[in-house]
Structure 1
Amino acid sequence: MTTIQKQDWHHSGSSCCSPMGTCCMSWWCPCFQYGKTRHRSKNNGNMSGYSACNTSCLAFFGLCCLGVSFILPMINRGDIRAKYHLTGNGCTDCLCACCCQPCDMTQQDKEITYREEQALMSQQPGKVAGMQYSQQQHQPQFHHG
């Protein structure tokens, strides 16, 4: 049986102030940020067909009205962990989503973006080797007299 080694998250949950746009969306418009992150997660980073007010956004808003908005980011975090083979478990997913949801949602969005960029780069054709110079042979110089 082959086991895939888990990787650490590339982005820390405490580095949630960058990029500023994602940070602001996570703090002040979390339903839109969740909808964007969920769309990106389900579509391998592809944002075509994305609408700011999508079903994920509306579901988040509904749970927010009930005071349990942490549920969807917690589930999404688990999906991201499974998809990219990241460290953590259901308990850490719950803690991250409950303790600082904006930081968690920013981390999720940044992680998906990073992982999908890495996947695209790994699919690119091999890099062209740098130019190599062959050693020149010494040629005798002739003087015309």
Structure 2
Amino acid sequence: MNINHYSPQSNWSTGLGDCGDDGSATTCLITCCFPCITFGQIAEVLDDGKSSCVANGFIYAALMTVSCHWVYAFMFRERLRAKYGLPSEPCNDCCVHFCCDPCALCQEYAELKHRGLDPSKGWTEPPNAPPHMPPTMDRF
């Protein structure tokens, strides 16, 4: 018996080429002119703040000089899809970033916003809660 375990898939909140009236047109403009900014913001949020927007943006920009930025970017798209159970549409992540990197970045940015995260504000830590303490022995 072959049992495959897949995470349930949901759909992307926007299409690959959508630039609507909900503020995403500004994101599209910034991404077309300065994709390293949008990528850095996405990467910081997906890394849960472990890496900075600036560092990821510089790495992306450096890779742009040798036309390999899409290799770095598609790895983050894979993370996003895995995190939210998104399908590989319209083709695999590598091809999406290779063929239309700005469109992919806009879609990823919009997806994070749809999920309640705002990449333009960077990583915001989850609310502080007291640590969970294991039960202790009662004192007599």
TM-score (ref. length: structure 1): 0.67
Question: Which 4+ residue blocks in structure 1 deviate beyond 3 angstroms?
Answer: none
Q: Displacement of 1:51 after TM fit?
A: 6.6
* Residue equivalent to 1:5: 8
- The CA RMSD measured in Å over matched residues stands at 2.4
State the Cα distance separating 1:103 from its structure 2 match. 0.7
CA offsets 1:99-142 (integer angstroms, 9 cap, x no match) = 1111110000110111236xxxxxxxxxxxxxxxxxxxxxxxxx
Task: Please say if 1:55 is aligned against 2:55.
Answer: yes
Give the Cα separation in 1 of the matches to 2:9 and 2:36. 29
Residue 72 of structure 2: aligned partner = 72
2:32 is the alignment partner of 1:27: yes
Quote the residue 2:42 is aligned against: 37
- Aligned-partner SS, 1:80: helix
Aligned residues: 111
Q: Against the structure 1 CA distance between its residues 16 and 95, is the aligned structure 2 distance closer, same or farther, given a 3 Å change threshold? A: farther
Percent identity between matched residues is 23
Residue segments in structure 2 that go unaligned for 5+ positions in a row: 118-140
Specify every segment of 5 or more residues in structure 1 that has no aligned partner in the other structure, as ranges.
Answer: 118-145
Of structures 1 and 2, the larger Rg is shown by 1
Q: Following the alignment from structure 2 to structure 1, what is the Cα–Cα distance between the partners of residues 71 and 79?
A: 13
Name the CA distance, whole Å, in 2 between partners of 1:83 and 1:116.
14
